[in-house]
């Protein structure tokens, strides 16, 4: 039996990047996968999976819009009657030095990366509590929790907040047999990483990507499927005794004790 067989799983930010990878891997492991995203592209991503024979549903929803989130979750319950796993993946980053960052950019991060996770979790949790089981997996990052580069104050703040949220919620919902864990990726090759590379060096973003890869002990950026496999583990029964914790998936990028890591 596949590890996500008969499971109903929601992935936010599933149109592209890590969310798409997570949705694909969950589907491959047997889950009925609900892809939720603000982008219309979510329909194409869901169609790709349906064409490969997987049971999916696409929800075009902005995680910051509480009413839309609630309506989306209601649709899932109407059709599938329960939610076994929620992967809170939707997130954004815009680089700007702290002194130059306007409040709008700060709130853009806080609204999507923190309030978005809050909203979808709030709408989903009652259904998990009713079923006396559930898995919540939150995408944090090594950024803000372990490391940081200039320009990331808003993003880093949100990713550290997600860890606090994970631990505190895990404590509250443990009696209901619901686990809450966080994934802390290093650099994963997604549209977000490509966009950060472009913001850092508009003339040669590839140089930025290559530079990042050279600083990773495993010598490359992560793949979305690798994040997907970790999410699938945490969303499955295999992780039944793991809660309130974080797992780093970074190719060893936070490991080096000295600056030179290439050899
Ligand atoms: N790529 C990395 O290197 C990396 C590293 C660490 C953590 N992460 C985390 O992984 C998650 C996904 O990142 P990614 O690199 O795949 O990003 P991405 O930009 O490639 O994809 C993000 C997805 O989220 C969706 N989204 C954005 N705002 C939304 C909203 N308001 N409502 C619903 N969906 C929305 C986008 O449409 C997109 O499909 C984020 O939480 C990010 O912080 C990424």
DSSP annotation string for 179-235: EEEEEEE--B-SHHHHHHHHHH-TT-HHHHHHHHHHTSTTSS-B-HHHHHHHHHHHH
CA of 88 to the centre of ligand 1 (A): 10
Model pLDDT, residue 47: 98
Ligand 1 pocket mutation pick from 92, 144, 227 by most atoms within 8 angstroms of CB? 92
Q: Please state, as a whole number, how many other Cβ atoms lie within 10 Å of the Cβ of residue 5.
A: 11
Q: Is 37 a pocket residue for ligand 1 (Cβ < 6 Å)?
A: yes
Model pLDDT, residue 260: 64
CA of 46 to the centre of ligand 1 (A): 17
**Inter-axis angle of helices 66-80 and 116-131, nearest 10:** 30
How far apart, in whole angstroms, are the C-alpha atoms of residue 61 and residue 75? 12
Residues carrying an active site annotation: 155
Which atom of ligand 1 sits closest to the CA of residue 42? 39
CA of 127 to the centre of ligand 1 (A): 25
Tokens 């700007």 label which residue?
96
Tokens 């650099």 label which residue?
187
Name residues whose C-beta falls within 8 Å of residue 164's C-beta, 6 or more positions apart in sequence.
Answer: none
Task: Give the tokens for residue 12.
Answer: 């936010």
The 10s digit of each residue's pLDDT in 54-113 is 999 999 999 999 999 999 999 999 999 999 999 999 999 999 999 999 999 999 999 999
Q: Tell me which H or E stretch contains 137.
A: strand 134-139
Which is nearest to 134 in space by CA: 42, 10, 230? 10
Q: Is 139 a pocket residue for ligand 1 (Cβ < 6 Å)?
A: yes
Q: Report the side by side order of strands in the sheet with 178-185.
A: 56-60, 32-37, 8-12, 85-88, 134-139, 178-185, 246-249
Asked if 71 and 56 touch (Cβ cutoff 8 Å), the reply is no
Which is nearest to 42 in space by CA: 67, 15, 23, 18? 15
CA of 232 to the centre of ligand 1 (A): 17
Q: Measuring from atom 43 of ligand 1, which residue has the nearest CA?
A: 91
Burial class (CB in 10 A: 0-12, 13-18, 19+), 17: buried
Q: CA dihedral defined by 198, 113, 74, 125, rounded to 10 degrees?
A: 140
| CA 141 to each of CA 59, 100, 162, 188, 203: distance values in angstroms, whole numbers, following the listed order | 25, 23, 9, 11, 27
Which atom of ligand 1 sits closest to the CA of residue 14? 39
Model pLDDT, residue 95: 94
- The residue count for the chain: 263
Where the chain has pLDDT below 70, the residues are: 260-263
CATH 3.40.50.720 assigned to 8-186+231-248: yes
Q: Is 13 a pocket residue for ligand 1 (Cβ < 6 Å)?
A: yes
Query: In terms of DSSP H, where are the helices of the chain?
Result: 17-28, 41-51, 66-80, 103-109, 116-131, 153-173, 191-200, 205-214, 224-235
Which atom of ligand 1 sits closest to the CA of residue 187? 3
How far apart, in whole angstroms, are the C-alpha atoms of residue 99 and residue 96? 8
Model pLDDT, residue 259: 72
Tokens 């590839």 label which residue?
206
Q: What ranges do the domains of the chain cover? A: 8-186+231-248, 187-221
CA of 57 to the centre of ligand 1 (A): 19
Model pLDDT, residue 234: 99
∠ Cα 110 64 58 (to 5°): 130
């Amino acid at each position: 039996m596949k590890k996500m067989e008969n499971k109903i799983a929601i992935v936010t930010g599933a149109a592209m990047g890590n969310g798409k990878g997570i949705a694909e891997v969950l589907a491959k492991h047997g889950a009925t996968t609900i892809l939720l995203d603000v982008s219309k592209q979510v329909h194409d991503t869901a169609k790709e999976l349906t064409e490969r024979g997987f049971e999916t549903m696409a929800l075009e929803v902005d995680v910051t819009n509480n009413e839309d989130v609630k309506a989306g979750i209601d649709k899932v319950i109407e059709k599938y009657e329960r939610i076994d796993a929620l992967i809170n993946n939707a997130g954004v980053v815009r680089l700007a030095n702290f002194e130059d960052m306007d409040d709008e950019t700060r709130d853009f991060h806080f609204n999507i990366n923190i309030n978005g996770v809050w909203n979808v979790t709030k709408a989903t949790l009652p259904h998990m509590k009713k079923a006396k089981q559930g898995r919540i997996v939150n995408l944090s990052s090594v950024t803000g929790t372990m490391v940081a580069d200039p320009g990331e104050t808003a993003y880093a703040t949100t990713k550290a907040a997600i860890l606090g949220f994970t631990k505190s919620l895990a404590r509250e919902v443990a009696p209901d047999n619901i686990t809450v864990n966080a994934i802390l990726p290093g650099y994963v090759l997604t549209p977000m990483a490509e966009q950060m590379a472009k913001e850092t060096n508009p003339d040669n973003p590839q140089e930025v990507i290559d530079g990042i890869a050279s600083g990773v002990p495993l010598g490359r950026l992560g793949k979305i499927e690798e994040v997907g496999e970790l999410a699938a583990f945490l969303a499955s029964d295999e992780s039944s005794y793991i809660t309130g914790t974080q797992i780093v998936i970074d190719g060893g990028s936070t490991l080096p004790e000295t600056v030179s890591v290439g050899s």
